[in-house]
Amino acid sequence: MPWEKSFDVEEAVGLGLNVFWAKGYEATSLSDLLEAIGINKGSFYNAFGSKKKLFVRGLLKYDTEQRKAMMDELSALQNPVTAITMFFDEIIDQSLCDKEHKGCLFVNTALDMPNHDEDIQSIVKKSLAESETFFLEQIALGQKTGTIPDTVDQHQVAKALLASTVGLRVLARGTFDEYGLRAVKEQAISLLKL
Neighbouring residues of 167: CB distance < 8 A, sequence distance ≥ 6? 184
What is the structure's pLDDT at 55? Answer: 95
Q: How far is CA 95 from CA 22, 34, 88, 117, 175, in A?
A: 14, 28, 11, 28, 11
Residue 115 DSSP symbol: G
Expressed in percent and rounded to 5, the helix, strand and coil fractions of the chain are 75, 0, 25
Q: Which of these, 189, 190, 182, 193, lies nearest to 92 by C-alpha position?
A: 182
Determine the distance from the C-alpha atom of residue 158 to the mean position of all C-alpha atoms in its chain, rounded to a whole number.
Answer: 17
What is the structure's pLDDT at 95? Answer: 92
What is the structure's pLDDT at 3? Answer: 47
| CATH fold label, 60-193 | Tetracycline Repressor; domain 2 (1.10.357)
3-class secondary-structure state, position 1: coil
Domain locations along the chain: 60-193
Q: How far is CA 189 from CA 110, 136, 139, 165, 183, in A?
A: 24, 14, 11, 11, 10
Q: What is the pLDDT along the chain (194 residues), one digit of tens a residue?
A: 344 457 788 999 999 999 999 898 999 999 999 999 999 999 999 999 999 999 999 999 999 998 999 999 999 998 999 999 999 999 999 999 988 888 899 899 999 888 899 999 999 999 999 999 999 999 999 999 999 999 999 999 999 999 999 999 999 988 899 999 999 999 999 999 97
